[in-house]
Structure 1
Amino acid sequence: MEKIEKVLASGNTHVTVNRDPNAKPGALDLKLSAPGVETLEFVSTDLHPRAEQLFSGAWAGCYITVFGKVAALKKVALPSDYSVDIQTSIGSVGGGYCLAAQFTLRVPGLATEVVEGLAQLAHQHCPYSKAVHGNIEVVTNIVTA
């Protein structure tokens, strides 16, 4: 597995579980950009996500769902304010490029070892985590305070 030598761009996503039954989903308008390609537009809107942001968003949405499911299977009650942050970075390595990801799981009130076990199990079941397993560096940080 290659590791990034120089980060070129990163996409960050913060995901929580919405427990409000009256919440209405909103629309997401996208204007895509690519690092180093200043005149390239895929869709014309106000936001400017890069591929790294889209990937981290999709991965985070999947991962938080799987994390909740594995916690339920293990009979671990999660606090209502647990969250997942993912930073996906693209960088150069040698003459090419590679990705890396950093997860931060915030699960207040649970023991660190319990969250670490759930995090590993979630990575084993999440389709995005399985797709990149062994191909990119993935670091997971646990915050329980």
Structure 2
Amino acid sequence: MEKIEKVLASGDTHATVNRDPNVKPGALDLKLSGPGVESMEFLAADLHPRAEQLFSGAWAGCYITNFGRVAAMKKVTLPSDYSVDIDVSIGSAGGGYCLGAEFTVRVPGLATEVVEELAQLTHQNCPYSKAVHGNIEISMNIVTV
């Protein structure tokens, strides 16, 4: 596995469970940040996010769904405000390019060891995590406060 030597671009996401009964399944609302811009909102007519942002968004949605399933399977009750941030970076390595990802899993009120176990089990179940396993560098931050 190659490690990024120099980050060229990065896309990060923040995912939460949507409990709004008025939102239709499949609704797309992208609020992204970009270089030199604090935040921007992309509407269906003007979608131009970077690939890293799209990949991190898709991965975060898949990962947080599987995190909830793994927690239920382990009979762990999650707080309503748990979340996952994924920052996907593309960078140079040797003569080519590679990806890296940094996860921040926030589960207020649970023991760090419990969240770490859930996070690792989720990586074993999430299709995106399985697809990149052993191919990119992934770091994990656990926040329980």
| TM value normalised by structure 2 | 0.85
Secondary structure of 1:109 counterpart: coil
Distance 2:48 2:12 in 1: 13
Counterpart residue identity of residue 86, structure 2: I
Residue identity in the other structure for 1:49: P
Letter in 1 for 2:129: S
* Distance 1:20-1:28 versus aligned 2 partners, 3 A rule: closer
1:132 maps to what in 2?
A: 132
Distance 1:28 1:70 in 2: 26
Task: Specify the alignment match of 1:10 in structure 2.
Answer: 10
Q: What does residue 100 of structure 1 align with?
A: 100
Which one has a larger percent strand, Structure 1 or Structure 2?
2
Give 5+ residue unaligned stretches, structure 1: 30-43
> For residues 7 and 27 of structure 1, what CA distance do their matches in structure 2 show?
28
Q: CA deviation at 1:21?
A: 1.3
Aligned-residue offset at 1:20: 1.7
Q: Which residue of 2 aligns with 1:35?
A: none
SS at match of 1:104: strand
Gaps of 5+ in 2: 31-43
Work out the CA distance in 2 between the residues paired with 1:83 and 1:28.
17
Q: Which residue of structure 1 aligns with residue 87 of structure 2?
A: 87
Matches within 5 A, 1:23-102: 23-24=23-24, 26-27=27-28, 45-102=45-102
Q: CA RMSD in A?
A: 1.6
Q: CA deviation at 1:90?
A: 0.2
Residue 117 of structure 2: aligned partner: 117
- Residue 20 of structure 2 aligns with which residue? 20
Number of residue equivalences: 131
Sequence identity percentage: 80
Aligned twin of 1:142: 142
Q: Which piece of structure 1 moves more, 129-138 or 20-29?
A: 20-29
Question: Which whole-Å CA distance do the structure 2 matches of 1:45 and 1:93 have between them?
Answer: 35
Aligned-partner residue type, residue 13 of structure 1: T
